[in-house]
């Protein structure tokens, strides 16, 4: 799905950095249920009350690790987790190859290869934030625009699929609310006179621009 957005330099470029977890000594700790409220993580219903989880802290990341009997069970678990915070990684160990989930996607732990973009549940009601999507509450990562010599404003076609993989999105030109590409990709959008999607702010209905650094 493509949309046309006017931006003040050139094509949006963003990258997702997937951190690898170093091998750690296995140990069991108290179920993460006690501290999960301090982090923006949603577990599958009933999970935290019944299963322990290992927690490994690094200077730049937090890894939450659980074991499963099969890849199918691990994938089902990760699909029902939601992580609304950067640098938190839920790792689902299993005999067929460990999987992980972060803010954006489910991935292969061994090499960071993407498996699928994670689903995002909407908030009970849209709300304004300077950092998070008004519809789902996930952080919206600004994109980076390359420098151009003598360029003014250009009009570019932006693929929502690519933006969703980067975790990037838009800012409302009127009220400043943010919206992630995943939500605009998941919800059918109105179209402009050329037939291209014309996304609008979740709060005020104003036009949105690509969020850049």
- Cβ-count burial 60-74 (b if 16+ within 10 Å, e if not): eeebbbbbbeeeeeb
Which has the higher per-residue pLDDT, 173 or 47?
173
Q: How many CB atoms lie within 10 A of CB 115?
A: 15
Contact call for residues 178 and 132 (beta carbons, < 8 A): yes
Paired tokens of 26: 């296995």
Contact call for residues 198 and 190 (beta carbons, < 8 A): yes
Q: How confident is the model at residue 112 (pLDDT cuts 50, 70, 90)?
A: very high
- For residue 48, the model assigns a pLDDT of 67
- For residue 73, the model assigns a pLDDT of 96
Q: How confident is the model at residue 49 (pLDDT cuts 50, 70, 90)?
A: low
3-state secondary structure of 32: helix
Contact call for residues 118 and 104 (beta carbons, < 8 A): yes
Contact call for residues 61 and 85 (beta carbons, < 8 A): no
- For residue 29, the model assigns a pLDDT of 38
Place of tokens 């919800």: 187
- For residue 194, the model assigns a pLDDT of 77
What is the residue extent of each domain of the chain?
Answer: 1-16+119-213, 32-111
Contact call for residues 85 and 146 (beta carbons, < 8 A): no
Sheet holding 169-172: strands in order across? 178-180, 169-172, 208-210
3-state helix, strand, coil in the chain (%, to 5): 15, 30, 55
* pTM of structure: 0.76
Cα 8 to Cα 173: distance, rounded to the nearest angstrom: 13
Contact call for residues 199 and 3 (beta carbons, < 8 A): yes
- For residue 191, the model assigns a pLDDT of 80
């Amino acid at each position: 799905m493509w949309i046309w957005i006017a931006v003040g330099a050139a094509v949006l470029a963003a990258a997702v950095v997937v951190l690898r977890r170093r091998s750690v000594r296995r140990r069991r700790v108290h179920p993460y249920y006690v501290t999960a409220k301090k982090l923006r993580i949603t577990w599958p219903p009933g999970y935290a009350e019944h299963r322990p989880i290992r927690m490994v802290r690094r200077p730049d990341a937090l890894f939450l690790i659980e074991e499963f009997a099969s890849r199918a069970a691990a994938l089902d678990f990760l699909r029902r987790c939601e992580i609304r915070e950067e640098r938190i990684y839920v790792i689902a160990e299993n005999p067929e190859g460990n999987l992980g989930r972060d803010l954006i996607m489910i991935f292969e732990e061994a090499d960071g290869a993407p498996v699928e973009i994670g689903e995002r549940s909407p908030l009970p009601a849209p709300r304004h934030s300077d950092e998070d999507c008004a519809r789902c509450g996930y952080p919206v990562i600004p994109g980076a625009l390359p420098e151009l010599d003598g360029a003014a404003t250009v009009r570019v076609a932006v693929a929502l699929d690519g933006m969703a993989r980067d975790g990037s999105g838009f800012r409302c030109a009127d009220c400043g609310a943010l919206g992630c590409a995943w939500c605009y990709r998941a919800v059918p959008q109105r179209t402009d006179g050329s037939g291209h999607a014309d996304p609008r702010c979740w709060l005020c209905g104003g036009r949105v621009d690509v969020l850049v650094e």
